[in-house]
Chains A and B, each alone.
Chain A
Amino acid sequence: MSGQIEHAHTIVGPRVYTTILFALLLGTALTVWASFIDLGFWNPIIALVIATTKAVLVVLFFMHVKYSTKLTKLTVCAGIFTFLILISLTLADYFSRAWGSW
């Protein structure tokens, strides 16, 4: 029935969603556990790496970007790239200005 309306549209099924659900639960457990260990400089980096991994899983599978058109993929990548430029240049400026005087 749906074939005649949705031509190239990929339907992502419960199996993929369940796998991603467990991966996200695992990531949450991991990041809470890691936050209680004193790793100094690495604590925020590990937390952000785990958060980003979880976000990428959500974007690719729950939000179907893996199965989307090239236009959507390009839009998402371009948007995140622009965001990273904005945030990294801003932070680089603030963190290097008046070094040590705050």
Chain B
Amino acid sequence: MPDSHAIAHEDVEAANAACTANSAGAEHPSYLRHHFNSTEQQADASNFAMWLFLLTEVMFFGGLFTAYLIYRNWYYPAFVSGSHQLNVVWGATNTLVLIFSSFTMAMAVWCAETRRRRGLVLCLALTFILGLGFLGIKAIEYSEKIEKHHVPGLHYSLSSFLDPAHDEAASVAGDNPLLLDMARKTEIYFSLYFLMTGMHALHMIIGIGILGFMIFRARAGAYTAGHVTFVENFGLYWHFIDIIWIYLFALLYLISRH
């Protein structure tokens, strides 16, 4: 059984004990760590720290976005033709899936704050499913790229760009054939495409893993006894991934479409 230093354990008993201790007039709930004056201060500090972490992520993805913009400016025809190989329908569907998952995650935070255990589990489960749905659609898109040999490397094929008349996606977009030199630069487009969407997907996979853990804990009532920091901070992370995708969708799929 957790003693008065149960803060570190943070298990369900501790959270429940905190609740009873609180109503019995004890000084503070057991999840309040001793170096904080109040739970409010503790919540503010962890919120601040989470934002600092997210800002390092902004810089990380920002570097990739900057590289993309520079190369797009340099090799504009290659980037336009490369972009035409992406499927806007899948991209838009994934945007909707992620927006809905952000909504369910926001609702999960609300459920935790208002102590609705079943609602919280439901919202987290929906977020989990939508996250998997996103990755499923991403896998379909990746397999299309693999089939057409648009994965940078030894087996990369230039035929969609040298001979666009015989490529469905390119002819629908009305692409003109690129010179060999420029056609080769489409490999840079796809390198950045896989790097950026791959890093984004990695963040999704990590998020889905944490979601699974949270569903397990939420069922036991861990987040509906007053201590909601973990759910809140995970929400920030999940919404951040959504924002990255909003920009990826605009930059990779949309801006070269017309």
Chain A interfacial positions (CB closer than 8 Å to B): 1-2, 4-9, 11-14, 17-18, 20-21, 24-25, 28, 31-32, 35-39, 43-44, 47-48, 50-51, 54-55, 58-59, 61-64, 68-69, 71-72, 75-76, 79-80, 83, 86-87, 90-91, 94-95, 102
Contact = CB atoms under 8 A, between A and B. Distances in A.
A75 B73 contact: no
Contacts of A58: 102, 239, 242-243, 246
Contact of B257 (A21, A35, A91): A35
B247 A11 contact: no
B8 interface: no
A7 B243 contact: no
A44 B100 CA distance: 25
Contacts of B105: 62
Contacts of A31: 249-250, 254
Contact of A36 (B103, B235, B243, B257): B257
A87 B61 CA distance: 11
B223 to A, nearest CB: 12
Contact of B73 (A2, A39, A95): A95
B226 A2 contact: yes
Nearest to A51: B250
A2 B48 contact: no
B43 A28 contact: no
B246 A54 contact: yes
B95 A28 contact: yes
A30 to B, nearest CB: 11
B44 A71 contact: yes
B158 interface: no
21 contacts: A1-B226, A9-B43, A9-B113, A11-B114, A17-B106, A20-B106, A25-B99, A28-B92, A28-B95, A31-B250, A32-B254, A47-B250, A48-B251, A58-B242, A61-B106, A62-B235, A63-B235, A68-B47, A72-B48, A75-B52, A94-B70
Contacts of A47: 250-251, 254-255
Nearest to B227: A5
Main secondary structure of the interface of B (DSSP, over half): helix
B73 A94 contact: yes
A55 B240 CA distance: 9
Main secondary structure of the interface of A (DSSP, over half): helix
In the complex, the 8 A-B pairs of residues with the closest C-beta atoms, listed nearest first = A79-B55, A35-B254, A44-B255, A38-B258, A51-B250, A35-B257, A47-B250, A21-B103
A18 B106 CA distance: 10
B140 to A, nearest CB: 19
B115 A1 contact: yes
Interface string B218-246: 00000000100000100110011011001
Nearest to B19: A1
B258 A11 contact: no
Given A24-B99, A58-B242, A35 B258 contact: yes
Contacts of A87: 62, 65-66
B40 interface: yes
Contact of B29 (A5, A35, A64): A5
A14 B92 contact: no
B51 interface: yes
A63 B52 contact: no
A31 B105 CA distance: 24
